[in-house]
Amino acid sequence: MTDKATLEANAAVEAARLISAALPYMLAYDQKIVVVKYGGHAMGDPELAKAFARDITLIETAGARPVVVHGGGPQIGRMLDQLGIKSEFRGGLRVTDKATVEVVEMVLAGSINKEIVMAINAEGGKAVGLSGKDGNMVFAEKVTRTEKDPDSNIEKEVDLGFVGEPKRVSRAVIDMVLGAGLIPVIAPVAPGDDGNTYNVNADTFAGAIAGRLGAARLLFLTDVPGVLDKSGALIKQLTVREARALIKDGTISGGMIPKVETCIDAIRQGVEGVVILNGKVPHAVLLELFTDHGAGTLIKP
């Protein structure tokens, strides 16, 4: 039978091996900005939420400079139901009237934001909650969308209410927070030049933030492993040109199209690489950044 001392020695050797394997990747991200878009149903799982908070704390301890942008669609939906406010989706975006945008801001910049901040702080990190409104970080403009009328086949403009997209991004507040050794956790609500508050798609918001910061990586934590080929196998890496070709031939379809298009746009804005990965896999962030096999699909210029 193996004695306790042997077991401890074997554990120490394994720990040293893991540290040795991860060290080159840690050095590669030293002082580099990594933007992580956190959302989807992984946010509702307490164990996954705790693992995510630990990952963010660990990559900051290892020398990277994480910035978290979060969504909260399911939580917003539940709160609207509780308040008896009906909402609908058009083209994948929530139609947001005045009453809805107040709930969106309350949930995103309030309860969800503070839950993430508290989770990171509980793991030894030092996080601070923000939204696009803080320090005029992000200004949004009203989103315009069109859809085809099924009867007349004519394209008509759809009024989505207070749904916006990033128009201007300032990095001043984020730089101050990072410079103080803190981890920014940002909710995707932003003011418009018209004085209104806008609900911004979290993926688009994260892409704009990452682009303005010139991030080394933008990680999209989703509910799927990444981009799959026609046989269902994970595609580990794509160039922008290859990604566009896969959209054109139908390999990338459905809800993955806007996700990949957001990745391409973020790269156009200056992000070095964007990764789509499954946020329901424990420690997906660490696996992607600090191991040689990654955890999703990397899209690069």
How many helices (H) and strands (E) in the chain? Answer: 10, 16
Sheet holding 274-278, edge to edge: 127-131, 183-187, 65-70, 33-38, 217-222, 274-278, 296-300, 237-239
What residues does 185 pair with on adjacent strands?
Answer: 68, 129
Residue 127 domain flag: yes
Which residues are CB-neighbours of 236 under 8 A, at least 6 positions away?
A: 226, 294, 297, 298
20 within domain boundaries: no
| Residue 32 DSSP code | -
Q: Count Cβ atoms below 10 Å from residue 161 Cβ, excluding itself.
A: 22
| Per-residue model confidence (pLDDT) at position 39 | 82
Residue 29: per-residue pLDDT: 81
Q: Confirm whether 21 is domain-assigned.
A: no
Amino acid at 221: L
Q: What is the pLDDT of residue 42?
A: 63
Which CATH number is 260's domain given?
Answer: 3.40.1160.10
Q: Are strands 93-94 and 89-90 parallel, antiparallel or unpaired?
A: antiparallel
pLDDT number for residue 46: 85
Q: Which two tokens stand for residue 87?
A: 């909402």
pLDDT score at 151? 65
Distance CA 99, CA 71 (A): 19
pLDDT at 81: 82
**Looking at residue 60, what is its pLDDT?**
94
Query: What tokens appear for 256 in the block?
Result: 């993955």
Over the stretch 143-181, which tens digit does the pLDDT of each residue have? 887 666 666 666 777 778 889 999 999 999 999 999 999
Q: Could you give the angle at which helices 98-105 and 73-83 cross, rounded to 10 degrees?
A: 120
Report the pLDDT value the prediction gives residue 243, as an integer from 0 to 100.
96
Rounded-to-integer distance, Cα 301 and Cα 179, Å? 29
Residue-range definition of the domain harbouring residue 86:
30-300
Tally of domains within the chain: 1
- pLDDT number for residue 10: 59
Under-70 pLDDT residues of the chain? 1-2, 5-27, 40-42, 91-92, 146-154
pLDDT for the residue 290 = 83
Cα–Cα nearest to 116, from 163, 172, 75, 63: 75
